[in-house]
Amino acid sequence: MVLLVEEICSLLEYHADRDKVVSLVSYALKLWGATTKSPPLLTASVRIAGARATLRLFDDAAALRAMIRYGFGKQVSKMAPTRSRGEKRGQLWTEEGLKAAMNAVQRG
């Protein structure tokens, strides 16, 4: 039993794994509810899917915060800006680069 709890905790430790588990549980409940025609299972599936979508909104906020902290300005490449000597932090992002980064974050 202790090993099972340890395995579950290690699986849920990282966001990517947590997202996969929540998605798997949602789809498993949906399949189980549909095959057994059980409305409570289908309701649970919908609620878990909603919780997953809500949790993913927090990822967008964290990514936006990281981009804001990094800064805006002259961009060296489309998605992977690097600083050269003499450039200050925050002088690398252009509006086009920021839009490309936001699109990449939204696509996951």
Cα angle 84-92-94, degrees, rounded to a multiple of 5: 150
Please tell me whether residues 21 and 48 are part of one structural domain: yes
Q: pTM here?
A: 0.53
Q: What is the dihedral of CA 25, 30, 34, 35, to 10 degrees?
A: -20
Q: Are residues 77 and 54 in the same domain?
A: no
Q: For the chain, give the percent of residues with pLDDT over 90.
A: 27
| pLDDT for residue 2 is more than 80 | yes
Q: What pLDDT is attached to residue 19? A: 87
For the segment 37-48, what is each residue's pLDDT rounded down to a tens digit?
999 999 999 999
Please tell me the predicted confidence (pLDDT) of residue 9.
85
For 29-73, how does the pLDDT look when each residue is reduced to its tens digit (9 = 90+)?
999 999 999 999 999 999 999 999 888 887 777 777 777 777 765
Residues 76 and 45 placed together within one structural domain of the fold:
no
Mean of all residue pLDDT scores within the chain: 79
The label of the residue with tokens 């990281």 reads: 66
Range of the domain at 77: 71-108
| Same structural domain, 105 and 79 | yes
For residue 17, name the pLDDT band (cuts at 50, 70, 90). Answer: confident
Q: Are 58 and 77 in contact (CB under 8 A)?
A: no
Q: Return the SS3 of 79.
A: coil
Number of domains comprising the chain: 2
Are 29 and 42 spatial neighbours (Cβ–Cβ below 8 Å)? Answer: yes
CB 49 within 8 A of CB 72: no
Q: Residue 74: pLDDT above 60? A: no
Radius of gyration of the chain (CA): 20
Q: Tokens 């902290």 label which residue? A: 69
